[in-house]
Amino acid sequence: MCGIAGKLVRSGEPAVDPKLVAHMTAALSHRGPDAQGVWTASGIGLGSSRLAVIDLSDRARQPLSNEDGSIRLVFNGEIYNFRELRHELEMRGHRFRSETDTEVIVHLYEDEGPECVRKLDGMFAFALWDARTRTLMLARDRLGQKPLFYWHRGDTVVFGSEPKALLQDTTVPNEVDEEAIHHYLTYGYVPAPLSAFKNIRKLAPAHYMLVTDGELRLSRYWTLDYEPKLQGSMGDLGVELDALLARSVERRLVADVPLGALLSGGLDSSAVVALMRRSMSGTIKTFSIGFEEPEYDELPYARAVAAAFETEHHELVVKPAVTDFLPRLVYHYNEPFADSSALATWCLTEMAGRSVTVALSGDGGDEAFLGYDRYAGAVLASRLDCLPMVLRRQVASAAAWLPAATPKTAVARLRRFVGGLDLEPAQRYGRWMSMLLVEHKLKLYTPEFTAAWGESDSLGLMESHWRSANALAVVERFAHADVGMYLPDDLLVKMDIASMANSLEVRSPLLDHHVVEFAASLPVSFKLRLGTPKYLLRRVMRAYLPSGILTRRKMGFGVPIDQWLRGGMRELARDLLLGRTATERGYFEPATLQRYLDEHESGQAQHHMRIWGLIMLELWHRTFIDRRPDLDQTGAPTSLPTLS
């Protein structure tokens, strides 16, 4: 696991300044504190900051090369089938200098070129330089577990694992992309391929890019298919799923460093711990967090799982005081990021990182096996679509009369559900997933910002993913939209940044693409059955998990931001959003901001998601736009904004 960075300039130019590449790499030292490597040649420079996990020796130091040095590679991630690939390549005559999985990619590219990515089973982002054709290849894994950003102008390409690495090159401007901010205010994250910085782009999941003589060529190498459906009984397909999950977990236990598991007490993370215990006889370290607010606290469930599998269990209760490190959090997330559970994820990975270098997680199970409550809601809503539109509009309008309710309550879910019944399915789902709707933006945006983006809606981005699915069932189209946007641009960003900021590698067995493909091919009734989500997964896990874990209601990994904004964070929110620094940016109407704060504090409305999203946007501006982030000699930022 690493941070990677580099720069490509015009053919025939001198070598890229190694000091620049070293500085870019230093900006990513948190991702890989064990070894830094820089290589430069005519027109190209590559850098790596490595977290050593497999082969801890200097032989695995990056950039790695082939036998004659014509191929150079920097790599971030893990290749779980590297042993099989290595054996195959050795049989073809290739010779390896290290035991690392990274070197497999070098020799596989020699034989198969860019299409080598199709054989890689893992999470990855890499940059490969082919001196024979003077071609730079950038690639990203199928589901987007590992990030990769790039900036292109003329014959120059600057790239890295995080934008802060690119911004060490002063030719890359730190300018706001207002279109990206508009989309951020819809979703709470910036959807790919945009970034919050003008002209810095994200390489999309399941894509590779080739750059030759300044020309960029993008190729998609994988698509998730939902048809045709698998044929077989519940029992037979359950046996197949059990074997797939066991294989996925076993492959993710290969490491030369201590490993553990992130345990929420939900079905997915509990299943991972159960499968780890089946494959391991030694100590398993598990890590869980909780809250003082009982409706958010899952620690009792996590303890039950830890006890059942006799793990060495570690816990932490998260309190509002954690917001003191918000500037540090914003610095590491690089873009405005409104998912408040990033706070909890940070605390969890920080705790785990003190004891282990690798941790397994349950990420991906909800998207693969239809685990979210909103999927059941989507099925119910689609059945109501047969009602006359006039009736659906009357029901939808009634949402405004429902009382403002705290999150995680039945009233809150009902209010959200009925509010979109008069829309087409794709628009409805986009509304459910939105932080700010068009009608909110028209009141929040200033006339200047409205002129640019206020009358256009970004829900079409999600709708395009919804329509691109080859699924026949509406609910699977929603899941496909989540796999295309919410999963890679929110959930996986949240985990990647939090874990790598704490030098922790997180592996997700349920995101194995074989598992995801198998789940997509299951009949819908095997995943969502009579309102029960993850039906087949639950059935398989009966043999392993306590019954209380199998039957508990999903809570979600939430943070009580709604309550904190009425308590200890109240003054912080007002200072940040209503202060002169924020209002002079000219984005938002101060009167609307004042109303959000007043109504939320009084309980008249639930604006916590919007307020939190606006706080994170303001702090991002102060961190990355008001000044270009600079580093000290250790790679740490020299200064961060204050919270006032």
Q: Tens of pLDDT along 151-201?
A: 999 999 999 999 999 999 999 999 999 999 999 999 999 999 999 999 999
- What whole-number distance in Å separates Cα of residue 338 and Cα of residue 315? 25
Q: How much is the pLDDT for 401?
A: 65
Q: What is the pLDDT of residues 216-225, one digit of tens each?
A: 999 999 999 9
Helices (H) and strands (E) in the chain, counts: 29, 19
What are the residue numbers of the active site? 2
- The full 3-state SS of 595-609, as one line of letters, equals HHHHHHHHCCCCCHH
> For helices 373-384 and 474-481, what crossing angle results, to 10°?
140
Q: Give the mean pLDDT of 47-62.
A: 85
Which of 153-157, 199-203, 320-324, 447-451 is predicted with the least confidence, judged by mean pLDDT?
320-324
Q: How much is the pLDDT for 228?
A: 95
Q: How much is the pLDDT for 640?
A: 75
Cβ atoms of 219 and 155 within 8 Å: the answer is no
Q: How much is the pLDDT for 200?
A: 98
Q: Give the mean pLDDT of 260-276.
A: 96
**Does domain 2-220 correspond to CATH entry 3.40.50.720?**
no
Stretch (H or E) spanning 478: helix 474-481
- The chain-wide mean pLDDT, for the chain, equals 91
Token pair recorded at residue 547 = 């019954």
Q: Which residues contact 386 (CB under 8 A, 6 or more apart)?
A: none
Q: How much is the pLDDT for 355?
A: 96
Which of 18-22, 400-404, 588-592 is predicted with the least confidence, judged by mean pLDDT?
400-404
Q: Which residues contact 75 (CB under 8 A, 6 or more apart)?
A: 2, 4, 48, 62, 64, 102, 105, 124, 125, 126
Confidence of residue 404 (pLDDT cuts 50, 70, 90): low
Of the ranges 215-224, 404-413, 542-551, 634-643, the best mean pLDDT one: 215-224
pTM tops 0.75, yes or no: yes
How wide is the angle at C-alpha 220 spanned by C-alphas 216 and 224, nearest 5°?
160
Domain ranges, ordered by start, for the chain: 2-220, 561-625
Q: Are strands 259-262 and 358-360 parallel, antiparallel or unpaired?
A: parallel
Q: Which residues contact 237 (CB under 8 A, 6 or more apart)?
A: 230, 522, 526, 536
- What whole-number distance in Å separates Cα of residue 208 and Cα of residue 118? 11
Confidence of residue 427 (pLDDT cuts 50, 70, 90): confident
Residue with tokens 């519940």: 234
Q: Give the mean pLDDT of 261-266.
A: 94
- What whole-number distance in Å separates Cα of residue 460 and Cα of residue 434? 12
